[in-house]
Amino acid sequence: MSRIMIDCPEAGGPVYTHLNFEAFDWEAIPVGEREIECPRCGRMHVWRRADAWLDEDGGRG
Ligand SMILES: [Zn+2]
């Protein structure tokens, strides 16, 4: 599984969205707009698939 990440637009750096998907599942699901309370800057961010990237787990298993 990979963690779905975004970059904080305020503070920069990766933010974990609390979503986990295999890459091929991630490509298939509808994402729409999602909100996350950002642990880096404390604000709410709205993000879409285009903002997200997968943090691969290194391929174990
Ligand atoms: Zn933020």
Mean pLDDT of each 10-residue bin along the chain, 61 residues long: 96 96 94 97 97 81 48
- Which residues have beta carbons under 5 A from ligand 1 (an ion)? 8, 10, 38, 40-41
* Cα 31 to ligand 1 centre (Å): 19
- How many Cβ atoms from other residues are within 10 Å of residue 4's Cβ? 21
Q: What is the pLDDT of residue 57?
A: 73
Please tell me the predicted confidence (pLDDT) of residue 59: 54
Cα separation, 2 vs 52, whole angstroms:
12
Whole-number pLDDT of residue 20? 96
Which pLDDT score is estimated for 60? Answer: 54
Q: What is the pTM of this model?
A: 0.86
User: How far apart are the CA of 29 and the centre of ligand 1, in A?
Assistant: 24
Count of C-beta atoms within a 10 Å radius of residue 57:
11
